């Protein structure tokens, strides 16, 4: 269960709902029925084995979010898929009724064993050893999407573009369904664009002539991304979003989110009951995106 504010709403709810259903519990500390419903939702999140993600929004403290969802009484629970509300209910329903509600949209999954991709210290992990481990996991479990994502990403970071394309090919048709595969596809597209001879100087000249030349800004962001200048690329995309949030069918925001997926490090191993710490760069740029998109 995650407490959501306007700062982390975009990554924890909107972006997360592209990968799995997100159940949003609008509550307040003074609300008795909310206190009764909360433990039921938390237990069901465990019972369903991660088949959905549970988040809580304090409607008193986050009135902008409550207003955006049209919340008029609490508790109110809203289920989102692919960035859109698909169903919901009001009031403290008993566990059986909540389960009936969930079963209309969600199939319970078995709890997973320890993540073989988790590392002790992501920042200090040896790239060569990590790449060998990922190659083995993908070879023995070709359907492991998380492992394949990390494997292709590691190959691209190592400059092995051709090997990365071959590793990506079996899942290339899943980019519409798996957000991280979409991120990889965008990275390949960026590398292809950079190989066509475009330069940062060309983009800079166009931007100097017209600060609202969003295509030039987007081209500049792509060239920076091709050079793995992640934060500089996101800074350029933010320049577009601050001026036109929906430019080119939301292309700037989608590319920004793809970069966040690409730079987020593997989960670190932590003691039972603890939550792995957020990467500070990823957390900072998620907050910046939320502040711009929700402004």
**Residue 237, preceding bond cis, omega within 30 degrees?**
no
- In which residue are the tokens 């088949």 written? 51
Q: End of a domain among 59, 74, 103?
A: 103
pLDDT at 127: 79
Residue 147 lies in a domain: yes
Residue 291 lies in a domain: yes
Do residues 99 and 44 make contact, with C-beta atoms less than 8 angstroms apart?
A: yes
| Residue 257 and residue 140 share a domain | yes
d(C-alpha 200, C-alpha 204), whole Å: 6
Residue 230 lies in a domain: yes
pLDDT at 272: 52
* pLDDT of residue 110 exceeding 80: no
Residue 110 lies in a domain: no
DSSP-assigned letters across all residues of 37-104: HHHHHHHHHHHTTTSSEEEEEETTT-HHHHHHTT--SSSEEEEEETTEEEEEEES---HHHHHHHHHT
| Residue 266 and residue 149 share a domain | yes
Per-residue model confidence as pLDDT tens digits over 32-81: 999 999 999 998 988 888 789 999 999 999 999 999 999 999 999 999 99
Strand partners, 22: 53, 80
Per-residue model confidence as pLDDT tens digits over 91-100: 999 888 999 9
Do residues 10 and 293 make contact, with C-beta atoms less than 8 angstroms apart?
A: yes
CATH code assigned at 70: 3.40.30.10
Do residues 75 and 37 make contact, with C-beta atoms less than 8 angstroms apart?
A: yes
Query: Exposed, middle or buried: residue 12 (CB in 10 Å: 0-12, 13-18, 19+)?
Result: buried
pLDDT at 222: 98
| Residue 179 and residue 42 share a domain | no
The residue annotated as part of the active site, out of 13, 15, 31, 238, is 31
pLDDT at 118: 60
| Residue 208 and residue 66 share a domain | no
| Residue 183 and residue 94 share a domain | no
| Residue 54 and residue 155 share a domain | no
Per-residue model confidence as pLDDT tens digits over 198-211: 999 999 999 999 99
- In which residue are the tokens 């009484």 written? 73
| Residue 122 and residue 93 share a domain | no
Per-residue model confidence as pLDDT tens digits over 138-166: 998 888 999 999 999 999 999 999 999 99
| Residue 135 and residue 39 share a domain | no
| Residue 32 and residue 143 share a domain | no
Strand partners, 25: 56, 77
Question: Considering the entire predicted model, what is its pTM?
Answer: 0.61
Contact residues for 61 (Cβ-Cβ < 8 A; gap 6+) = 5
Give the domain range for residue 25.
2-103
- In which residue are the tokens 């083995």 written? 136
Task: Grade residue 28 by pLDDT with cuts at 50, 70 and 90.
Answer: very high
| Residue 149 and residue 53 share a domain | no
DSSP-assigned letters across all residues of 219-235: HHHHHHHHTT-HHHHHH
Q: Give the closest residue to 138 by CA, choosing from 127, 146, 148, 128.
A: 148
| Residue 90 and residue 162 share a domain | no
Active site (annotated) includes residue 31: yes
Summary mean pLDDT of the chain: 88
| Residue 180 and residue 295 share a domain | yes
Q: End of a domain among 103, 125, 158?
A: 103
Residue 109 lies in a domain: no
pLDDT at 57: 95
Q: End of a domain among 103, 123, 141?
A: 103
Per-residue model confidence as pLDDT tens digits over 246-295: 999 999 999 999 999 999 987 666 555 555 667 889 989 999 998 888 76
Domain count, the chain: 2
Q: Which two tokens stand for residue 147?
A: 């492992």
Residue 108 lies in a domain: no
The residue annotated as part of the active site, out of 6, 22, 34, 260, is 34
pLDDT at 128: 80
pLDDT at 171: 95
Pair type for strands 76-81 and 53-58: unpaired
């Amino acid at each position: 269960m995650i407490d959501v504010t306007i700062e982390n709403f975009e990554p924890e709810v909107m972006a997360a709902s592209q990968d799995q259903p997100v159940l949003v519990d609008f509550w307040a500390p003074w609300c008795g029925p909310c206190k009764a419903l909360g433990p039921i939702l938390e237990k069901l999140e465990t019972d369903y084995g991660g088949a959905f993600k549970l988040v809580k929004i304090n409607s008193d403290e986050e009135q902008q979010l409550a207003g955006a969802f049209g919340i008029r009484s609490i508790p109110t629970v809203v289920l989102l898929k692919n960035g859109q509300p698909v169903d919901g209910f009001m009031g403290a329903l008993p566990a059986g009724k909540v389960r009936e509600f969930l079963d209309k949209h969600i199939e319970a999954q078995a709890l997973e064993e320890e993540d073989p991709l988790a590392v002790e210290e992501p920042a200090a992990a040896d790239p060569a050893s990590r790449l060998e481990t990922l190659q083995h996991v993908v070879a023995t479990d070709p359907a492991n999407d998380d492992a394949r994502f990390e494997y292709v990403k590691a190959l691209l970071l190592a400059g092995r573009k051709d090997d990365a394309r071959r590793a990506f090919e079996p899942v290339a048709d899943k980019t519409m369904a798996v957000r991280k595969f979409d991120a990889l596809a965008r990275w390949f597209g960026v590398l292809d664009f950079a190989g066509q001879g475009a330069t940062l100087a060309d983009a800079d000249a166009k931007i100097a002539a017209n600060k609202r030349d969003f295509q030039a800004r987007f081209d500049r962001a792509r060239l920076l991304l091709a050079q793995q200048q992640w934060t500089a690329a996101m800074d350029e995309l933010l320049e577009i979003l601050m001026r036109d949030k929906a430019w080119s069918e939301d292309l700037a925001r989608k590319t920004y989110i793809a970069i966040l997926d690409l730079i987020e490090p593997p989960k670190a191993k932590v003691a039972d009951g603890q939550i792995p710490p957020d990467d500070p760069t990823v957390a900072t740029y998620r907050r910046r995106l939320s502040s711009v998109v929700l402004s």
